[in-house]
Amino acid sequence: KFPDGDKAIQGILDQLGAQGIDFARDVEPALGPETDLVALDLGKSEIVGLTQPDDAGKLEALLAKADKELFTRDVDGWTAFADSTAVLDRFEAAREDGTLAGSSDYEDAIAEVDQDALALFYLKGGGLQGTIQQEEKLPPGALGALFPEGKVPSLAMSLKAEENGLRLAGAAKLATDEGGFAPENFKAELPEKVPGGALVYAGFNDFES
């Protein structure tokens, strides 16, 4: 749906081909109807992938072509994969303390975006806040100036295909409804003054605050 979009897709397929990977033969059957990536810690490269492959052998073969060795494990009928067994151990241990399905923070944030999407993204505000607060160059009171009660909001986003392109929507769960960098909602009036052919448009209200 985008100018030269077919060329971009072909470029990706060519890059895979240069690595000896054919999308239809090697990638598509290796992944199931849903594939997830989970970051356990923003400060470390501890990422776990999850999928239910249509062909388990194809998934094993695809992972074997990665730049570094990847390890797999069955987790409640899903194939989990990571770059070490220690990361998989931590993933399973963390699940014992509860899952996202039982997190009100996740449920509140993700409910604000379209569930029927190509992709969903969630970022836990508390986890991000812990990483930010460890930054030595962070000015005192910076979080309080930016966010209500100084708490970093959780964020949810969805990516959905539409007739003429893609729709990216996001929502943030703030500690309170007022304060910080999030003033009251408003109806933008400037689009009545902006040419219809504009490439990018961003609007803000109460900007002096």
**3-21, pLDDT tens digit by residue?**
677 888 888 888 888 888 8
Looking at 28-97, list the stretches that DSSP marks H as alpha helix, in order from N- to C-terminal side: 56-63, 85-95
102 or 53: which leads in pLDDT: 53
The tens digit of pLDDT for each residue in 27-76 reads 999 998 999 999 988 767 789 999 999 999 999 999 998 888 999 999 99
Measure the CA–CA gap between 55 and 61, rounded to whole angstroms.
Answer: 10
Measure the CA–CA gap between 4 and 19, rounded to whole angstroms.
Answer: 23
Put simply, whether the predicted model's pTM sits higher than 0.85 gets the answer no
